[in-house]
A and B are shown apart, each in its own frame.
Chain A
Amino acid sequence: METGSDGDGQLLLEALGLRIGVRFVGAIDSEARSSLSRSWSRCQVESSGPTEHPDIEFDATIGTRAELPRGGVAAPDLPRLAHLLSPHVTVAAIDQLAGQIVMLHAAALCDRDGATAVFVGASGAGKTTVCRVLGRELGYVTDETVAIETDGSIRMYPKPLSVIEPGSTVKAQISPDDLGLASVDAAPRLTRIHLLERDDRHRGAPALEPTDKLDAIAALATQCSHLKLIPRPLHALADLIDSVGGATRARYADVAELLPMASELVAPR
Chain B
Amino acid sequence: MTTYEVAADVHDIYLDGDRAAVYAGDSALVLGPIAAALVVWVRDGVGAPAALADRAVERFGSPPGADADALITAQLGDLCVAGVLRSG
Chain A residues close to B by CB (< 8 Å): 213-215, 217-218, 221-222, 227-228, 232-235, 238
Interface centre among A213, A214, A215, A218 (most CB of B within 10 A): A214
B82 CB to closest chain A CB, in angstroms? 13
Q: Are the C-beta atoms of A215 and B13 separated by less than 8 Å?
A: no
Q: Are the C-beta atoms of B16 and A227 separated by less than 8 Å?
A: no
**Of B20-28, B50-58, B68-76, the one with at least 4 CB within 8 A of chain A:** B20-28
Chain B residue, CB-CB nearest to A217: B21
The interface on chain B, measured as residues whose beta carbon lies within 8 A of the other chain's beta carbons, has a size of 15
Q: Are the C-beta atoms of B16 and A233 separated by less than 8 Å?
A: no
Q: Are the C-beta atoms of A213 and B23 separated by less than 8 Å?
A: no
Given A228-B23, A233-B23, A234-B23, is A218 in contact with B30 using a C-beta cutoff of 8 Å? yes
Q: List 4 additional A-B contacts (Cβ < 8 Å) besides A214-B30, A222-B28, A238-B14.
A: A214-B19, A234-B14, A235-B12, A235-B14
Chain B residues close to A by CB (< 8 Å): 11-14, 16, 19-23, 26-30
Chain B residue, CB-CB nearest to A221: B28
Q: Are the C-beta atoms of B11 and A214 separated by less than 8 Å?
A: no
Question: Which residues of chain B are near A215, meaning CB under 8 Å?
Answer: 30
Cα A15 to Cα B30 with chains together (Å): 33
Question: Which residues of chain A are near B12, meaning CB under 8 Å?
Answer: 232-235
Cα A228 to Cα B22 with chains together (Å): 12
Question: Which residues of chain B are near A214, meaning CB under 8 Å?
Answer: 14, 16, 19-21, 30
Cα A228 to Cα B27 with chains together (Å): 10
Q: Are the C-beta atoms of B14 and A227 separated by less than 8 Å?
A: no
Q: Are the C-beta atoms of B29 and A218 separated by less than 8 Å?
A: yes
Cα A255 to Cα B38 with chains together (Å): 43
Chain A residue, CB-CB nearest to B13: A234
Question: Which residues of chain A are near B13, meaning CB under 8 Å?
Answer: 234
Cα A217 to Cα B13 with chains together (Å): 11
